[in-house]
A and B are shown apart, each in its own frame.
Chain A
Amino acid sequence: MELHQNWKAFFAEAGDISRFTSRFFVQGAKPRQEVAEFFRQCFIIGYKSLPLIGLTGFIMGLVLTMQIRPTMVSYGVQSQIPAMVGIAIVREIGPVITALIFAGKIGSSIGAELGSMKVTEQIDAMEVSGTNPYKYLVVTRVLACTLMLPVLVMLSDAISLYGSYLGVNIRGRTSFAFFFKVVFNNLDFSDVIPAFLKSFFFGFAVGVIGCYKGYNSNKGTEGVGYSANSAVVLSSVIVFIIDLIAVQITDILGLN
């Protein structure tokens, strides 16, 4: 009984989310583009996430390198550390970790912001003042997330590699030029492009889920907290699911 109801609720929510997402494409195409609000959101979502993404990226590269080092040394292939770390960061760790941090920071803040606007009737107030709140609030935020996350991923990758370079130099001695030569010799387009493309989907998912959870918030402050929390949980899970799908696609296309 319990399980049966859970499944029913699960499919009902999946349906709601699909409908919410399809509204994005329908409404996004309609006139009166909210350009100013879109750029404001890009600034908030992109620029203001930079320090956090930069810090986590740096630590990730450094720690990964230091942890991998003993094994590589024992196999006598320590000169290949940059290649290994480079591929790991660019193909997988960079996009996924950045997307997860992004979900934690941006997904929750969108969920909480729209949630509190919903319960205090601000969304209704927008609608009665001749503004389509879905376009003004949701379309702008989802677009900003979709476009900003790939940029953040690239920056995070670059900072991670720099962290890794420092990590190599803690025990060994490698020149900056040599480190990046090995990294780029082992990276092709077939490594970079799929990772870049999937980060658009990660960004889209975080934006849509954050907005969906906020927009459908229940009355009361508890409802707002729940929206923020479930936005992070659900968008993190979806990031992994998209990652799983992406790896199948690149595999079928022979890009692995």
Chain B
Amino acid sequence: MLVEEKTILTNKINSKQQPVVEIRHLKKSFGNNVVLDDFSIELKKGENLVVLGRSGSGKSVLIKCIIGLLKPDAGTIDVLGYDMLNLDEDELDKVRAKIGFLFQSNALYDSMTVRENLEFPLRRSWIAINQQQIDEMVLEALTNVDLAHTINMMPVELSGGMRKRIALARTLILKPDIILYDEPTTGLDPITGKEIDELIVAIQKKYNTASFIITHDINCVRLVADRVAVLMDGHCYAEGTFDELQKSTDSKVKQFFE
């Protein structure tokens, strides 16, 4: 009851706000392979938006376009009021510092220790900070994921779930406003996957971040989603809350919930 009232209230506040990410008529193809075809969606502040789609449907392509790792063929992407497709390198780096990206393969630098992995984005950003602040931020990020004791270990020494959490800590270290999760639970056992889902929700609560969560794991959707969009044939095929989509009679939407 109380929770419901609260969500209604936040939804009202959010609906007045300018979305933090706004994607309009996005198109992207590789040669003859049309991956995104007129995809539009918006992400509101503090919201967990799940993009659901089969493998190969273009989910990773979508979030790589958002952060500028891929250049779309047409359409617009607006992040925190910046037109992502028309920024120079310095501006792009500044916007990217506000976006966290959790890679599907974690992308931990395997030649560096956990500490160096976490320090990397701090040292490379243009923010001026001293060693003491760096140490504090590294420790805070590691504590957030309960892995402070791994600080001097190498990524190869960690289990899959631990690596995912270290990657999440590295994503969080610059306190991003927006986080893009690329299949955060794929390849993990259900229990570890659930831990990651809980972390995603905890982070959303603690820092009030807005997130795109790309997945085809329905348990993950159930736990983290405020809103769900189904990516199919390159565009947003259906959109709604988890419950709405679960009750859907559309056969294409239904197959995700079986």
Contacts from A to B (Cβ < 8 Å) = 113, 116-117, 119-122, 124-132
- Complex CA gap A186/B9 in Å reads 91
B218 at interface by CB-CB < 8 Å: no
SS of A interface (majority):
helix
- Complex CA gap A125/B166 in Å reads 14
B214 at interface by CB-CB < 8 Å: no
**What is the distance, in angstroms, from A167's C-beta to the closest C-beta of chain B?**
41
**What is the distance, in angstroms, from B186's C-beta to the closest C-beta of chain A?**
14
Is B103 touching A121 in the complex (CB atoms < 8 A)?
yes
Is B96 touching A124 in the complex (CB atoms < 8 A)?
no
Provide the residues of chain B in CB contact with A113, threshold 8 Å.
111
Q: Which 10 A-B pairs have the closest CB atoms?
A: A125-B107, A129-B121, A121-B107, A130-B93, A121-B103, A131-B124, A130-B124, A120-B105, A122-B107, A128-B101
**What is the distance, in angstroms, from A192's C-beta to the closest C-beta of chain B?**
37
- Complex CA gap A122/B112 in Å reads 12
B207 at interface by CB-CB < 8 Å: no
SS of B interface (majority):
loop
Provide the residues of chain A in CB contact with B69, threshold 8 Å.
124, 127-128
Contact sample, A vs B, 10 pairs, CB 8 Å cutoff: A116-B110, A120-B107, A121-B107, A124-B103, A128-B67, A129-B96, A129-B121, A130-B97, A130-B121, A131-B120
Provide the residues of chain B in CB contact with A120, threshold 8 Å.
105-107, 110
Provide the residues of chain B in CB contact with A127, threshold 8 Å.
69
- Complex CA gap A185/B257 in Å reads 85
Provide the residues of chain A in CB contact with B111, threshold 8 Å.
113
Is A121 touching B105 in the complex (CB atoms < 8 A)?
yes
Taking A117-B109, A120-B110 as known contacts, 19 extra A-B pairs with beta carbons closer than 8 A to each other, sorted by chain A number, are A113-B111, A116-B110, A119-B105, A120-B105, A122-B110, A124-B69, A124-B103, A124-B107, A126-B120, A128-B96, A129-B120, A129-B121, A129-B125, A130-B96, A130-B124, A130-B125, A130-B126, A131-B124, A132-B89
Is A129 touching B107 in the complex (CB atoms < 8 A)?
no
Provide the residues of chain B in CB contact with A119, threshold 8 Å.
105
Q: Which residue of A lies closest to B89 (CB)?
A: A132
Q: Which residue of B lies closest to A124 (CB)?
A: B69
Provide the residues of chain B in CB contact with A121, threshold 8 Å.
103-105, 107
- Complex CA gap A124/B96 in Å reads 12
Q: Which residue of A lies closest to B120 (CB)?
A: A129
Candidate in B67, B89, B105, B125 with the most chain A CB atoms within 10 angstroms: B105
| A-contacting residues, B69-114, CB 8 Å | 69, 89, 93, 96-97, 99, 101, 103-111
Provide the residues of chain A in CB contact with B67, threshold 8 Å.
128
Contact with A along B148-191 (1 / 0, CB 8 A): 00000000000000000000000000000000000000000000
- Complex CA gap A132/B68 in Å reads 13
